[in-house]
């Protein structure tokens, strides 16, 4: 991938640069802290490139505008946080049923309820497990740097269009708000005129985009088709990054800001002679189950430590991935608190004594 000059950007800004480079036509959203700079950047940059920015009257309005634009064959996106994502869930279920490619940015804040504007990772359940109704899935990318916020925006559109399904970029509030140097990919010509878009004539008939199937057998067939697609995604699109996993007795599993804190803790632990490694999911759906199972059965690993900004949500997928072959422990902070490097070091030492 060719890159242009570097810019100093917030994560929330970088994701818009990446989306524009990916050819995004439309942004529909409603501001919410700590995601507001996504909308601010879109409001500034989209009109400069003759693309559509519209602040909707609500989060519900925004996701339905995204649905309509996607059905019309436009590359489109939105962004929100926590309770705003909750409001969008009915629309996301419709989008999944319609098999429309859209990108949704979730800069996660503290909850439940109104909570606060501090960083958390407690949207994991509603984003990864399908927070709306019906048996559907969404792709979920988890950047841990401002550069990845930009790069994964581009990837998100590619994946959403390849599989015709919603794709989230889920980042905690720290990654959204932090500022780092970003190398922007060079723009490419990315024509987009999908065969399935609403109204396009195929074999002499105009396409109809619908999610209602009154006959039970028809709806069952649609669901089986979706599940077959999700199985293909699960097999082909797992992505993760590993650090010192070849000889690690304890493997930390962490994403977002937790993975950056954990990486520092691991260097300290290694310097003290402790064999600790890390697996960082770069996508949490599909979850990197294959890589985790390989580690769990390599003969060196004795256990896992899930480090999260939640009461423990990803830990369930860690346990499922390794089929409970090894113990999985949790170290977590909540309410907008982020663990320090020293805290993770002490948590890892405690677990090492127990396994």
Average pLDDT (250-258) is 98
pTM of the model: 0.96
Tokens of 106: 């979730």
The span from the CA of 27 to the CA of 52, in Å, is 6
Give the contacts of 235 (CB within 8 A, at least 6 positions apart).
none
Q: Can you give the CATH number for the domain in which 342 is found?
A: 3.40.50.920
What is the band of 190 on the pLDDT scale with cuts at 50, 70, 90? confident
What is the band of 48 on the pLDDT scale with cuts at 50, 70, 90? very high
CA dihedral 147, 151, 156, 157 (to 10 degrees): 140
Average pLDDT (162-183) is 98
Q: Are residues 128 and 74 in the same domain?
A: yes
Q: Using the predicted structure, report yes or no on whether residue 297 has a pLDDT greater than 70.
A: yes
- Residues of the domain holding 305: 240-354
What is the band of 293 on the pLDDT scale with cuts at 50, 70, 90? very high
Q: Can you give the CATH number for the domain in which 159 is found?
A: 3.40.50.970
Q: Are residues 206 and 306 in the same domain?
A: no
Q: Are residues 79 and 212 in the same domain?
A: yes
Q: Are residues 155 and 249 in the same domain?
A: no
Q: Using the predicted structure, report yes or no on whether residue 132 has a pLDDT greater than 60.
A: yes
Q: Are residues 210 and 105 in the same domain?
A: yes
Among the three residues 236, 264, 288, which one is the final residue of a domain in this structure?
Answer: 236
Total domains in the fold of the chain:
2
Q: Using the predicted structure, report yes or no on whether residue 1 has a pLDDT greater than 60.
A: no
Average pLDDT (108-123) is 97
For residue 117, give the nearest of 108, 125, 105, 104 by alpha carbon: 108
State pLDDT tens for residues 12-30: 999 999 999 999 999 999 9
Give the contacts of 197 (CB within 8 A, at least 6 positions apart).
71, 72, 73, 207, 209
For residue 226, give the nearest of 100, 127, 136 by alpha carbon: 136
Q: Cα 22 vs. chain centroid, distance in angstroms? A: 17
Q: Are residues 112 and 175 in the same domain?
A: yes
Among the three residues 187, 213, 236, which one is the final residue of a domain in this structure?
Answer: 236
Q: Are residues 276 and 172 in the same domain?
A: no
For residue 250, give the nearest of 142, 135, 345 by alpha carbon: 345
Cα–Cα distances (Å) from 283 to 286, 309, 315, in that order, read 6, 17, 15
Q: Are residues 286 and 206 in the same domain?
A: no
């Amino acid at each position: 991938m060719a890159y242009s000059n570097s810019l100093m950007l917030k994560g929330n800004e970088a994701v818009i640069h990446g989306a524009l480079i990916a050819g995004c036509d439309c942004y529909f959203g409603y501001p919410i802290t700590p995601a507001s700079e996504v909308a601010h950047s879109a409001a500034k940059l989209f009109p400069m490139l003759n693309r559509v920015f519209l602040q909707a009257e609500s989060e519900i309005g925004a996701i339905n505008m995204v649905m309509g634009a996607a059905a019309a064959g436009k590359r489109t996106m939105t962004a929100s946080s926590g309770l705003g994502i909750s409001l969008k869930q009915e629309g996301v279920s419709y989008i999944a049923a319609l098999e429309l490619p859209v990108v949704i940015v979730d800069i996660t804040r503290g909850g439940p309820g109104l909570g606060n504007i501090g960083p958390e990772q407690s949207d994991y359940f509603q984003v990864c497990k399908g927070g709306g109704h019906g048996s559907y899935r969404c792709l979920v990318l988890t950047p841990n740097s401002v550069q990845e916020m930009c790069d994964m925006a581009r990837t998100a559109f590619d994946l959403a269009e390849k599989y015709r399904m919603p794709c989230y970029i889920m980042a905690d509030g720290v990654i959204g708000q932090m500022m780092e140097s970003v190398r922007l990919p060079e723009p490419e010509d990315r024509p987009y005129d999908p065969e399935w878009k609403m109204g396009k004539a195929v074999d002499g008939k105009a396409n109809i985009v619908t999610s209602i199937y009154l006959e039970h057998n028809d709806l069952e067939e649609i669901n089986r088709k979706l599940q077959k697609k999700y199985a293909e995604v699960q097999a082909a699109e797992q992505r993760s990054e590993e650090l010192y996993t070849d000889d690690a007795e304890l493997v930390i599993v962490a994403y977002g800001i937790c993975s950056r804190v954990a990486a520092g803790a691991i260097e300290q632990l290694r310097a003290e002679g402790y064999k600790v490694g890390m697996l960082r999911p770069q996508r949490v759906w599909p979850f990197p189950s294959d890589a985790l199972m390989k580690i769990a059965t390599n003969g060196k690993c004795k256990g896992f430590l899930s480090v999260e900004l939640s009461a423990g949500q990803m830990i369930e997928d860690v346990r499922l991935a390794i089929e409970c072959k090894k113990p999985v422990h949790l170290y977590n902070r909540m309410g907008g608190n982020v663990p320090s490097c020293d805290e993770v070091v002490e948590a890892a030492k405690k677990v090492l004594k127990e396994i």
